[in-house]
Amino acid sequence: MTDTINTDYLRRKIVEATVKALKLAVTHLPPDVENALRRAYLEEDSEASKSQLKAILENVKLARSMEKPMCQDTGLIHYYVNLGIRFPATHIVRDALIEATRIATKEIPLRPNTVHPFTHYNPGDNTGRGVPIIHWEINDSDRLEYYVVPKGGGSEAVSVLRLPPPGRGFEEFLKTVVDAVLEADGKPCPPVIVGIGVGGGVDTAVYLAKKAASIRRIGSRNPDPYLALLEEKLYEALNMLGIGAMGLGGRHSVLAVHIDYAYRHPANYPIAIVFQCWATRRAHVTIYPDGRYEVEQ
Amino acid sequence: MATYHLKTPLTDEDISKLHVGDIVYVSGIVVTARDSAHRRMIEYHRENKPLPIDLRGGIIYHCGPVVRRRGDRWEVIAAGPTTSTRMEIYEADVIEKYGVKMIIGKGGMGPKTTEACRRFKAVYTVFTGGAGALAANSIKEVLGVEWLDLGVPEALWIFRVKDFGPLLVVIDSYGENLMSHVMEESRRRRDTVLKWLMENIPPPHH
């Protein structure tokens, strides 16, 4: 009996926290991203690009003060869950996240974005087979932690996965990244965060790239010193392409480059590049075993 | 770079004034249309069926808004542009068949649309991608919605707007395409950038 009450209570708290996190994510741009955009605005000398950065910053302010979504594409909802196995209600987490997605869609509101890939049927509540997207990692704590990431379709549409022959080496890696950014051009709503995932199976590369793009904070340093250097140099180089905000030409089309990797099969060299548009929607939730929770960016 | 305030319906004269790089604010009626709506417009033309709204001198906005129903009215919550290249396969025909004078979107459009803008006197402009709250602010009223069976993002939303913008002219009626110039320049820099990277990053080793 006590167990049931506790489970119901925790379910309500998870739903409540998730709706709050989704609302925070779609209405408030995380401070690291807003600061990076402000820096880009101050440094930009292309008039067309500067006008776009100005509109973006005004839009961010407006969305925050009116508590409205900063972008009409409120995305496909992703949850990156880190579940403590000693959390008292592990078995209801998935259901609670799906329920929260439905409620948030109606209450905030979010754009109903999920469609059947063959029939185009849209259930209208951002759910459906396989969505919201929930990734699970397990740890031995008693807490439930997760990121909510509503990710827009425009930046997702220019994602790249390549498997160049491993013999072509490091130069091919650089070419793949530069060409992906050139091909994406103004389409992913630059300035963007470029997430790069290398190695693993193909699924690993894409998963790491998306996490690097959407979750990692701008300004956080890669713990691997070589990758930290690579990120810095790629950031400089990709901005030299001159794509600019919204592809209108200018010095700032990339806010940051984030790289993650896994070991790979000797015959495969998966390289994934995932773009996060300037409208980086993310929030982090921690739920404690007694139902207290924190929502932050 | 000049700034213009225009009212719908737009005339050939209005369009002739505009050059790439100019800024425009529009007032009047703007109709949203994305992939499915464009496809249906082409089908309707082929089958000789009239559109539910006259687009002559009109503005098409590549946008799938966030809306909320309040009683019998619709409220626009956020309404920034969607990526225009998806509409490249339809837009030239839509401009030709329906007399549309302005397309609003983001991310640029290709040679077919550029040519249609030149031949039929139209322009393609961009609104800042993702700036959904800013856009919603100058949408004053939802005058109607058609083809809602396509889903909320894909329906034809008929907005009354006031000083909707800033819109940057990216394709004018003289065959100029600002974003394809930028893209060509970026592609020219590719090899220099790669060389710079090879010179500035020591090769990885363990």
pLDDT for B72-82, tens place per residue?
899 999 999 99
Q: A247 and B136: CB-CB below 8 Å?
A: no
C-beta of residue A272 within 8 angstroms of C-beta of residue A206? yes
Residues of chain B with C-beta less than 8 angstroms from the C-beta of A278: 130
What would the two tokens of residue A241 be? 């392409």
Select the residue of A48, A51, A175 nearest B194 (Cβ to Cβ).
A175
Q: B107 and A52: CB-CB below 8 Å?
A: no
User: What whole-number percentage of chain B has pLDDT above 90?
Assistant: 93
Query: Which pLDDT does position A241 carry in this prediction?
Result: 98
Query: Which pLDDT does position A1 carry in this prediction?
Result: 45
C-beta of residue A139 within 8 angstroms of C-beta of residue A173? no
User: Does B206 qualify as catalytic in the annotation?
Assistant: no
User: What whole-number percentage of chain B has pLDDT above 70?
Assistant: 100
Could you tell me the domains of chain B?
3-177 (3.20.130.10)
Q: A237 and B151: CB-CB below 8 Å?
A: no
Residue B133 has pLDDT above 70, yes or no: yes
A74 in contact with B, Cβ within 8 Å: yes
Average of per-residue pLDDT across B157-162: 98
Average of per-residue pLDDT across B114-143: 96
C-beta of residue A36 within 8 angstroms of C-beta of residue A114? no
pLDDT confidence bin for B111, thresholds 50/70/90: very high
Query: Which pLDDT does position A2 carry in this prediction?
Result: 52
A248 in contact with B, Cβ within 8 Å: yes
Q: Which of residues 132-151 of A touch B (CB under 8 A)?
A: none
Per-residue pLDDT tens over the stretch B11-56? 999 999 999 999 999 999 999 999 999 999 999 999 999 999 999 9
- The residue among B154, B186, B172 whose CA lies nearest residue B67 is B154
Per-residue pLDDT of chain A (297 residues; tens, 9 = 90+): 456 668 999 999 999 999 999 999 999 999 999 999 999 999 999 989 999 999 999 999 999 999 999 999 999 999 999 999 999 999 999 999 999 999 999 999 999 999 999 998 999 999 999 999 999 999 999 999 999 999 999 999 999 999 999 999 899 999 999 999 999 999 999 999 999 999 999 999 999 999 999 999 999 999 999 999 999 999 999 999 999 999 999 999 999 999 999 999 999 999 999 999 999 999 999 999 999 999 999
Select the residue of B136, B182, B193 nearest A249 (Cβ to Cβ).
B182
- Could you tell me which chain B residue has the CA closest to the CA of A231? B201
d(CA B116, CA B123): 9
Q: B78 and A70: CB-CB below 8 Å?
A: yes
B21 in contact with A, Cβ within 8 Å: yes
Q: What is the 3-state secondary structure (H, E, C) of chain A?
A: CHHHHHHHHHHHHHHHHHHHHHHHHHHCCCHHHHHHHHHHHHHCCCHHHHHHHHHHHHHHHHHHHHCCCCCCCCCEEEEEEEEECCCCCHHHHHHHHHHHHHHHHHHCCCCCCCCCCCCCCCCCCCCECCECEEEEEEECCCCEEEEEEEECHHHHCCCEEECCCHHHHHHHHHHHHHHHHHHHCCCCCCCEEEEEEEEECHHHHHHHHHHHHHCCCCCCCCCCHHHHHHHHHHHHHHHHCCECHHHCCECCCEEEEEEEEEEECCCCCCEEEEEECCCCCCEEEEECCCCCEEEEC
C-beta of residue A114 within 8 angstroms of C-beta of residue A126? yes
Residue B203 has pLDDT above 90, yes or no: no
B191 in contact with A, Cβ within 8 Å: no
A157 in contact with B, Cβ within 8 Å: yes
Query: Which pLDDT does position A3 carry in this prediction?
Result: 61
- C-alpha separations of A109 from A19, A28, A87, A269, B9 in Å: 11, 15, 30, 41, 32
Chain A contact probe: residue of B70, B186, B196, B200 with most A CBs at under 10 A: B186
The 8-class DSSP code of residue B173 comes to T
The CA distance from B129 to the nearest CA of chain A, in Å, is 6
Q: B130 and A59: CB-CB below 8 Å?
A: yes
